[in-house]
Structure 1
Amino acid sequence: MIDTERLEHKLDDFDPGRRREALDALWRNVESGRETVPEPGGEVNLHAHTFFSYNAYGYSPSGFAWLARKGGLAAAGIVDFDVLDAVEEFLEAGRLIGLRTCASLESRVFVPEFSRFVINSPGEPGVAYHMGVGFPRALSHPFLTEMRSAAEKRTRDMMSRVNVYLDPVALDFNRDVAPLTPRGNATERHLCAAYERKAEEVLPDPARRAAFWRERLGDAPATSTELQGLIRSKTMKKGGVGYVAPDSGSFPEMAKMNRFVIEAGAIPTVAWLDGSSDGERRMEEFVDVAMASGAAALNVIPDRNYGPKLGADKVKALYDVVALAERRGFPVIAGTEMNSPGQKFVDTFDADELKPLAPIFLRGAFIVYAHTALQRECGLGYLSPWAEKSFSSLDAKNRFFEAAGRALRPDAENKLSGVDAGVSPARLLERLQ
């Protein structure tokens, strides 16, 4: 008897050995014909967080990979905040189950040239969410150590301030917060979940607990999702007791992060929200600044921010920024985070608003997958010296990496063995097909 549900639950265990054991068992069932998965289709999600930062459904790298393969995604990608803890597991899972994968990192950076403008971190002038996309492997690096340490300090300091306000519902970081994520990389969202749990422990009577939340937050929402969202907005965001406005030293400069991303073999990537801020209304200028230190791709989160219910202005802004990316030769990375309950597993690419852009998102996914495989196996990634000398234009490079991404399947990466920087793009593509 196939116990798929039990194995899928085991995929999200904090023990990596149990996760691998479950994924192996699920794939053996597919190989034996006891379970079927569809052929890859045309949908992608290259922006899912895992439980190494925060996933609202508790998905591990293996858990997300399996569900993406089971769902017929053409490609899947993970993005965790400030850490690369999920990279090796996710890329290995993709190779095992025949899923095109990429692994990325997201953080916040300071952009001195835009210090007067709010960009895409609400209420924080000069601060931008920013990404490195397509890391070929995990690595140790001083920049990563600094990011992890700074993130933990911000979270601990925020918790200390909120503890005073929410007393007697007060947290101990090591006991109540760090265990919520496998390697202790706790975020604001982990704090919110921990405060909800602590309130149930300290105030077990529902009526008293509701009265407490009404007093401290102004409301006592009926659902866990609403309560955690209110805790976050009222205590941790701008105006809340836990919030401290960032300054130029709170986050690394974008140029420094871009240097790290390039050194690590990934692609510095501009993250875009919805075009409504002063900074994002200056996207041509912002992209110029980002490109000066190596940015070469654009990330968007389509359905959540530009769906049919959000109005024509935001849809137009999405089309405008994609057109800008196309003019600059930037691959466009698309996906949904799943960092809040209710978010979709994959964007609705067949919606009228998104359908014309779906081929661009799919092309971006193939480019980043090819980059990941080529950089990991033979150092011939999108920004490698080989790519720099082998293509006469960005358009030629993008066409090659798209074709390579379509041709190269995860279970056939041994085709890259023995390839070196002397190979021509045409010969390499011929070898992959």
Structure 2
Amino acid sequence: MAQVEFDLEKELNHEDKERRLEVLSVFFELVRQGKISLPPKNSVINNHIHTFYSFSPYSPSKAIYMAAKSGLPTAGIMDHDTIAGSEEFISAGKIAGIATTIGVECRADFSKTLLSGKKINNPDQHSIAYVAIHGIPHNQVETVMKFFKPYIERRMKRNRLMVQNINNLLSKYEIALNFEKDVVSISKYKEGGTVTERHILFALAKKIIERVGKGRKLVNFLKNELKIKISKKIESFLSDEQNPFYEYDLLGLLKSDFTPKFYINATEECPDIKEVVEFSYKIGAIIAYAYLGDIVESVTGDKRSEKFEDDYLELLFEVLNELGIKAVTYMPSRNTLTQLKRVKNLCEKYDFLQISGEDINSPRQSFICEALNQDEFKHLINTTWALIGHEIMATEDKDLGFFSDKMQEKFPNLRDRIEYFKNIGLKMWSKSD
């Protein structure tokens, strides 16, 4: 049966969506028959899982499979600039008996705010920050796709130029990328997905390995030729030629230390933050600022040690409040307790909804955030079920959503509103499970 499960798992990233869902159905039928066992569901949640519609080793179906294998009762899709994988994700969740939320992550321009010129939560560019649109009503998927389509196309133009920069930098090593063949081909662009810097860097990682090889040869090439600084942890990963995550580890290193050499600032592809806020409210979704915090050591190896928003966090929250952003998403496993307590205190001061946002885009990452078992973060489990309740109600009528005027008037106290929507989420899902 182990071989059967192995074969099914490989099919979960099949090119055809219907085939992926069919395979997932077969897998869970075997689970119901007792032929395959899964761990019991725990209370841990995850609202920020990328799929291969932006960049990830997982299709929406495989992401749900991985969530089930990790014992998660809920899972949330969060792709960059696209929600093309959401319908499959919802269907897969129903097959697996996992509650789902759908969202989209995007970069927004804060240059017309008091944060202009600051490095916010984006390692590559000042004045540009990542925000997450959570709890998108299911009847608004097409509206979201139409909103982001022109930004995706503008991003493609910049992607081509960045690939040209890479080719110019590496021509003397006979390393070159063909944008269509090497980059677009590993994306889901033709199915409504996006092409990101990670696609470019993953393609580059493959080319470098093909040209140089693995192990010490590659480490020496990176250090001596590309002048990339490598931490001891990443060097140990890349020195191991049998490392199953080799290409992803190299991608992470290139993203943190090579990206500045070829990066072109994103301008036209980043909507003004006020436009994004207005759009989020219009469709009945919940827009959240994605807190990053100063980094000492990156968990995934894709970010350098550097400072972000911690030095001006109070100002940041003032700006968010003025913009009408009433939620913050953060990652308990990636920040210090001191950082997170400060964020929590400011969220409470401004009455912001707190959402757990563990970013999953690499096979090395665990779907389980152990920190959520700590008392300091258990409230994030409640807000996840509230998010699920919101999505159910906002799909029925956006005026019944969490931040609608009607529901804020009915439940002016944030905790009362969380409790109300949490109970809806738990009740509705228990009926369908």
TM-score under structure 1 length normalisation: 0.82
In 1: Cα distance, 2:216 partner to 2:118 partner: 44
| CA deviation after TM superposition for structure 1 residue 273, in Å | 0.6
| CA deviation after TM superposition for structure 1 residue 39, in Å | 4.6
Letter in 1 for 2:88: E
| CA deviation after TM superposition for structure 1 residue 196, in Å | 2.6
In the alignment, which residue of structure 2 is the partner of 1:294?
324
Q: Identify which range, 38-47 or 210-219, moves more after superposition.
A: 210-219
Q: 1:236 aligns with which of 249, 252, 259?
A: 259
Letter in 2 for 1:252: P
Q: Identify which range, 58-67 or 122-131, moves more after superposition.
A: 122-131
In 2: Cα distance, 1:411 partner to 1:21 partner: 23
In 2: Cα distance, 1:327 partner to 1:172 partner: 50
Aligned pairs for 1:271-350 (under 5 A) are: 271-274=290-293, 277=307, 279-303=309-333, 305-306=334-335, 314-349=336-371
Contact 1:217 1:231 in 2 (8 A): no
Q: Summarize the Cα distance change of 1:360–1:215 in structure 2 as closer, same or farther, 3 Å threshold.
A: same
Q: Note the alpha carbon deviations across 1:98-155, whole angstroms, 9 max, x for none.
A: 2111111111111122103221113633221111011123214543112211322222
In the alignment, which residue of structure 1 is the partner of 2:106?
107
Q: Summarize the Cα distance change of 1:335–1:290 in structure 2 as closer, same or farther, 3 Å threshold.
A: closer
Letter in 2 for 1:52: Y
| CA deviation after TM superposition for structure 1 residue 283, in Å | 2.8
In the alignment, which residue of structure 2 is the partner of 1:309?
none
Q: Note the alpha carbon deviations across 1:137-176, whole angstroms, 9 max, x for none.
A: 3214543112211322222221111111112211111111
In the alignment, which residue of structure 2 is the partner of 1:130?
131
In the alignment, which residue of structure 2 is the partner of 1:69?
68
In 2: Cα distance, 1:210 partner to 1:41 partner: 40
| CA deviation after TM superposition for structure 1 residue 278, in Å | 6.1
In the alignment, which residue of structure 2 is the partner of 1:429?
none
In the alignment, which residue of structure 2 is the partner of 1:158?
162
In the alignment, structure 1 segments of 5+ residues that lack a partner are 307-313, 414-433
In 2: Cα distance, 1:164 partner to 1:255 partner: 37
In 2: Cα distance, 1:378 partner to 1:33 partner: 40
In the alignment, which residue of structure 1 is the partner of 2:299?
none
In 1: Cα distance, 2:59 partner to 2:358 partner: 16
In the alignment, which residue of structure 2 is the partner of 1:139?
142
In the alignment, which residue of structure 1 is the partner of 2:90?
91
In 1: Cα distance, 2:294 partner to 2:223 partner: 35
Q: 1:357 aligns with which of 343, 352, 376?
A: 376
Describe the SS at the equivalent of 1:171. coil
Q: Note the alpha carbon deviations across 1:261-302, whole angstroms, 9 max, x for none.
A: 222331010110125746443333322322333322111112
Contact 1:162 1:235 in 2 (8 A): no
| CA deviation after TM superposition for structure 1 residue 203, in Å | 6.0
Q: Note the alpha carbon deviations across 1:394-420, whole angstroms, 9 max, x for none.
A: 33222211222232216539xxxxxxx
In 2: Cα distance, 1:127 partner to 1:182 partner: 25
In 1: Cα distance, 2:54 partner to 2:143 partner: 18
In 2: Cα distance, 1:383 partner to 1:302 partner: 24
Describe the SS at the equivalent of 2:133. strand
| CA deviation after TM superposition for structure 1 residue 341, in Å | 4.8
Describe the SS at the equivalent of 2:123. coil
In the alignment, structure 2 segments of 5+ residues that lack a partner are 229-234, 240-245, 296-306
In 2: Cα distance, 1:202 partner to 1:25 partner: 41
In 1: Cα distance, 2:83 partner to 2:134 partner: 11
Q: Summarize the Cα distance change of 1:39–1:375 in structure 2 as closer, same or farther, 3 Å threshold.
A: farther
| CA deviation after TM superposition for structure 1 residue 335, in Å | 3.6
In 1: Cα distance, 2:154 partner to 2:368 partner: 31
1:392 matched to 2:401: no
Number of residue-to-residue matches in the alignment: 396
In 2: Cα distance, 1:261 partner to 1:346 partner: 28
Contact 2:292 2:308 in 1 (8 A): no
Q: Note the alpha carbon deviations across 1:82-112, whole angstroms, 9 max, x for none.
A: 1111111111222222211111111111112
In 2: Cα distance, 1:206 partner to 1:268 partner: 43
In 1: Cα distance, 2:30 partner to 2:371 partner: 30
Q: Identify which range, 147-156 or 170-179, moves more after superposition.
A: 147-156
1:261 matched to 2:280: yes
| CA deviation after TM superposition for structure 1 residue 213, in Å | 4.7
In 1: Cα distance, 2:389 partner to 2:151 partner: 28
Contact 2:121 2:308 in 1 (8 A): no
Letter in 2 for 1:152: M
In the alignment, which residue of structure 1 is the partner of 2:25?
24
Describe the SS at the equivalent of 2:27. helix
In the alignment, which residue of structure 1 is the partner of 2:51?
50
Contact 1:43 1:349 in 2 (8 A): no
Contact 2:70 2:367 in 1 (8 A): no
Q: Identify which range, 354-363 or 227-236, moves more after superposition.
A: 227-236
Q: Note the alpha carbon deviations across 1:17-66, whole angstroms, 9 max, x for none.
A: 210111111122233333344553211111111111112xx111111112
Describe the SS at the equivalent of 2:378. helix
Contact 1:14 1:182 in 2 (8 A): no
In 1: Cα distance, 2:32 partner to 2:53 partner: 29
Describe the SS at the equivalent of 2:75. strand
Cα RMSD between the aligned structures?
2.8
